Amino acid sequence: MKLGHVLQKAERGEPLSSHELQFLLELSKPDELNQVFELACRLRDRYFQNKVFLYGFIYFSTWCRNDCTFCYYRKSNMHPNRYRKSEVEVLEAAKRVADSGVHLIDLTLGEDPFYYKRHGFGSLVKLVNKVKMNTGLPVMVSPGVVPEQVLSDLYIAGADWFACYQETHNRELFSRLRLNQSYDARFSSKKNAMRSGLLVEDGILTGVGETLSDLAFSLESMFRLGAHQVRVMSFVPQKGTPMDHWTTPPRVRELLVIALLRILMPDRLIPASLDVDGVEGLQARINAGANVITSLIPPQLGLAGVAQSTKDINEGYRTVQGIIPVLNQMGMRAASLEEYSCWILN
Ligand code: SAM
Ligand code: MD0
Ligand code: SF4
């Protein structure tokens, strides 16, 4: 297979086969990788010019009933100092991050029994509605798997997005990562969300034991799902978890997947998450074809990240102020709220 041929095909907008995707995933020579990254950026710029969208992140409950092997907040882990922020605290954090200039607020939680059982989902729906009303910004909810009716209630309450990452589209690997969880229930929740009117984000992890053919299959699965936003994050090993002793994968893998997501889905939103390598990792991810910066966290409110629970947060680096100089230095700029709202409406 010739790299030039495959890239030309992609540039013309022709779909790539799984063999071609795998061929691209195998690349390792710097000049070949650069050709892929450059194509990804050209395709991104064709649809988004130099505009980048900014997402505020509020992980408001770190309690969880699940035991995902990769996650610091799995229920069996005794290390985390867990918290569940009150409504007042969530609204305060939302206001702060909204005032800082983000385009969206991502309300994320573990599958916290407080929201999942005792009080039903009513309090989650109400919270989403209050955040929406108070900030006037688009809202994403990342609650894990919830019943179809709840997705519809969230939409009516003002949610715009439902984020739920499959992590891998290999069922057997899924069962080793998300212990005792249903692959089908997780995947269907995204289809249900779309039916309810929500925009959907899917995503995968690298460095969790996947093969290149698993990655190619994930790329195709996310394409077929028609997800509006698609992400990849490198696995970061967490203290006190079964995967504590794994090593974090070389970043080139995440960057290559970002580029291939872009090549396959040029008009979709693709995050550069600050949660993996902080602000230091931003430039490489944008240069691989990302067009959204996620995990902007209001400092000093005791809010955590996920893959990096504390990195750069209290220092105030994971903020709009912290990333604007990096963007501008690259010739990119933060979009206006109007530009983001237009994208959502289309
Ligand atoms: N609890 C909800 C769920 O699992 O869908 C939402 C929050 S969950 C913490 C968000 C995502 O963070 C996971 O789907 C996973 O992709 C990512 N994540 C968790 N632990 C990670 C780790 N150690 N390294 C990289 N990403 C991680
Ligand atoms: C992020 N840490 O944006 C967050 C999180 C959940 N929707 C997003 C993984 O990177
Ligand atoms: Fe819970 Fe989400 Fe972590 Fe899994 S990834 S243990 S569902 S918080």
pLDDT, tens digit (0-9, with 9 covering 90-100), for 45-95: 999 999 999 999 999 999 999 999 999 999 999 999 999 999 999 999 999
Pocket of ligand 3 (CB under 6 A): 64, 66, 68, 71, 73-74, 110-111, 144
172 found inside a domain: yes
Name which residue sits closest to atom 2 of ligand 3, judged by CA.
110
Let me know if residue 25 belongs to a domain: no
Distance of CA 178 from the midpoint of ligand 1 (Å): 10
Tell me the residue range of the domain where 245 lies.
47-345
- The answer to the question of residue 26 being in a domain is no
* CA 123 distance to own-chain centroid: 24
CA distances from 223 to 102, 202, 217 (A): 27, 10, 10
Residue 281 and residue 271: Cα distance in Å, rounded? 12
In a domain, 339, yes or no: yes
6 in any annotated domain: no
Exposed / middle / buried, residue 31 (Cβ in 10 Å: 0-12, 13-18, 19+): exposed
Asked if residues 233 and 34 have their Cβ atoms less than 8 Å apart, the reply is no
Asked whether 74 and 240 are in contact (CB, 8 A), the reply is no
CA atoms of 312 and 327, how far apart (whole Å): 17
Burial class (CB in 10 A: 0-12, 13-18, 19+), 227: buried
Q: Is 336 within the bounds of a domain?
A: yes
Say how many Å lie between the CA of residue 73 and the centre of ligand 3. 6
Q: How many domains does the chain have?
A: 1
> 305: which residues sit within 8 A by CB, 6+ positions away?
57, 59, 274, 275, 295, 297, 311, 313, 318
Cα(256) to ligand 3 centroid in Å equals: 25
| pLDDT less than 50: residues of the chain | none
Give CA–CA dist 238/249, Å, rounded: 14
Ligand 3 atom closest to the Cα of residue 74 is 6
> What's the pLDDT score for residue 1?
85
Residues near 133 by beta carbon (within 8 Å), at least 6 away in sequence: 158
Decide if 3 is inside a domain: no
pLDDT in tens, 104-140: 999 999 999 999 977 779 999 999 999 999 999 999 9
CATH of the domain at 204: 3.20.20.70
The pLDDT score that the predictor gives to residue 153 is 97
Task: Tell whether 40 is covered by a domain.
Answer: no
Q: What does the alpha-carbon distance between residue 221 and residue 66 come to, in Å, rounded to a whole number?
A: 24
